[in-house]
Amino acid sequence: MDTRRLLRIFATGLGTAGLLVSGCSSGGSAPSASARGSASTEDMSPYYGQKLRWRDCGVEGFQCTTMKAPLDYGKPDGGDIDLAVSRKKATGPGERIGSLLVNPGGPGGSAVDYLQGYAAIGYPAPVRARYDMVAIDPRGVARSEPVTCLTGKQMDAYTQVDQTPDDDAEVAKLTEAFDRFAKGCEKRSGEILPHVSTVETARDMDILRSLLGDEKLHYVGASYGTFLGATYADLYPGRVGRLVLDGAMDPSLPAIDINRDQTAGFEAAFQSFAADCVEQPDCPLGTRSAAGAATALKQLFADLDAEPVPTGETRKLGESLATIGVIAAMYDESAWPQLREALAGAKRGDGAGLLALADTYYERDPSGKYANLMFANAAVNCLDLAPAFTRAAEVEKALPDFEKASPVFGRGFAWAALNCGSWPVEATGTPHRTEAKGAAPIVVVGTTRDPATPYKWAVSLAEQLSSGTLLTYEGDGHTAYGRGSDCIDTAINTYLLEGTPPKNGKKCS
């Protein structure tokens, strides 16, 4: 398996932690004035009345277009934003159901890349036969007026800042790095920063739904994409078609709880890795116990903090990049052999393997150029929720709780949660229950040992949604659909093709 491609697909589920920062006719109708924060139907008619002009993407079988939306929904006549859209038309056989929008998460993951690189190829053939597979890069992401914050060299420096400061000087360096990141975003992308919220992106999706000629939105969202899908359902419950929310987030939680839960989630994932590792002859963390493996990993991180090791290029592998390399491999168990090899290399003084995993996570290419994933991730997260922490003293007070949640990753996750503390735009979102009263059945999928979106979030979201039905995958990794469980795939395919959701509480392994 191409692990690098796999990680690009699945490592977009960052939740809110920001780890180191962490010819088509229109159809449907315009949103009602009662939609949260919406302008009047008259104000929005130019957007719902536009025509999409499809062209060949240069990628076989795919068409592309650009859609306009208001930059500011509160002032829809105040300027536009251009959003990139791609589709692959239904292949047949069988009657076409409609369009199926997909989103891989992040926030900051390119839905167009996900569609063209995976979904329109990897989704089951019967689904692709009866749906036009469609993706829109969210505002601020990839091809849709991307948020930019730092140059490649600046990001290289940023990703190497010590995320587990040991003294006041190191705390100052970390907070200064967060400040530089925020100021870079403001300098390079200040106009769009106040307008990349999840609510605004959900409203963009409704314009697209209408332009595609669909009365209802059919959608599969993974990780953060579940928050986006749930937000859409809450705004437009009468327009919900078949929604799959895989690797669910919990919209009712404040940022600090999200960060702490995610910390525990990565600890659980590591424990699964460790239990498997100690049974392997090539385990670089010992062969006695998972607890012993955790101790060995902590020691390796401490050694790399004290003395980074060469990687075969100008960057060395220190604790921060090593931690991200390990975290990247927690998203999918098929990456565990690669992680064992990379850890063994680091113990020998060769950091190339863990650096490669970290670069995949950060979407850094060999030339030193970064995709805008991390920039958009921070921009959306810091706008959607008030920061978990605003001062270093608050982090220090919370450290015991985070270290209890994860002896291995707790300190790093706690300090990473400070990244929105100096954000130049005030948050516009608040934690809230998402009920989507009157919506058609919505399938919420949770994986019991999901590192990035802990299982209890899926349980909570399914309970909040008035029409939510919970589908559980008992296993490892981030998200469940299309990852090898016939039980999961059959349940979701039946729902997408026939409209029949699985029984609430159904479990698969």
Query: Could you report the per-residue pLDDT of 55-103, keeping only the tens digit for each?
Result: 999 999 999 999 999 999 999 998 999 999 999 999 999 999 999 999 9
pLDDT (0 to 100) of residue 288: 84
Domain layout of the chain by residue ranges: 1-31+88-509
pLDDT (0 to 100) of residue 487: 98
- How far apart CA 418 and CA 378 sit, in angstroms, is 11
Q: How many helices (H) and strands (E) does the chain have?
A: 19, 10
Residue 92 CB coordination number (10 Å)? 10
pLDDT (0 to 100) of residue 278: 95
Give residues with Cβ within 8 angstroms of 33, minimum separation 6.
39, 40, 41
pLDDT (0 to 100) of residue 30: 40
- How far apart CA 32 and CA 46 sit, in angstroms, is 15
Which CATH superfamily is 1-31+88-509 part of? Answer: Alpha/Beta hydrolase fold, catalytic domain (3.40.50.1820)
Phi, psi of 339 (to 5 degrees): -65, -40
Phi, psi of 229 (to 5 degrees): -65, -40
- How far apart CA 297 and CA 343 sit, in angstroms, is 9
Q: Can you list the residues of the chain whose pLDDT is less than 70?
A: 1-42
Catalytic residue among 223, 320, 406, 460: 223
* Cis peptide preceding 107, ω within 30 of 0: yes
For the stretch 208-218, pLDDT in tens is 999 999 999 99
Segments of 104-254 assigned E as strands:
131-136, 217-222, 240-246
Catalytic residue among 204, 250, 359, 450: 450
Among residues 250, 174, 288, the alpha carbon closest in space to that of 452 is found at 250
Contact 235, 31 (CB under 8 A): yes
Q: Which two tokens stand for residue 174?
A: 């970390």
* Cα 152 to chain centroid, rounded: 21
pLDDT (0 to 100) of residue 43: 85
pLDDT (0 to 100) of residue 42: 54
Q: Which two tokens stand for residue 34?
A: 């009662």
pTM of this structure: 0.92
Residue at token pair 């849709």? 144
Catalytic residue among 132, 195, 246, 478: 478
- CA 473, 476, 477, 483 torsion-angle sign: negative
- How far apart CA 55 and CA 65 sit, in angstroms, is 6
Contact 141, 107 (CB under 8 A): yes
* SS3 (DSSP) at 42: helix
pLDDT (0 to 100) of residue 39: 43
Known active-site residue 478 = yes
Contact 472, 446 (CB under 8 A): yes
* SS3 (DSSP) at 57: coil
| Interior/surface letters 312-332, b for 16+ CB within 10 angstroms, e for the rest | eeebebbbbbbbbbbbbbbbb
DSSP H or E run through 270: helix 255-277
* Cis peptide preceding 93, ω within 30 of 0: yes
pLDDT (0 to 100) of residue 20: 36
pLDDT (0 to 100) of residue 287: 80
Rg, the chain, Cα only: 22
Cα distances from 211 to residues 46, 90, 99, in angstroms, run 11, 17, 11
Among residues 160, 135, 30, the alpha carbon closest in space to that of 85 is found at 135
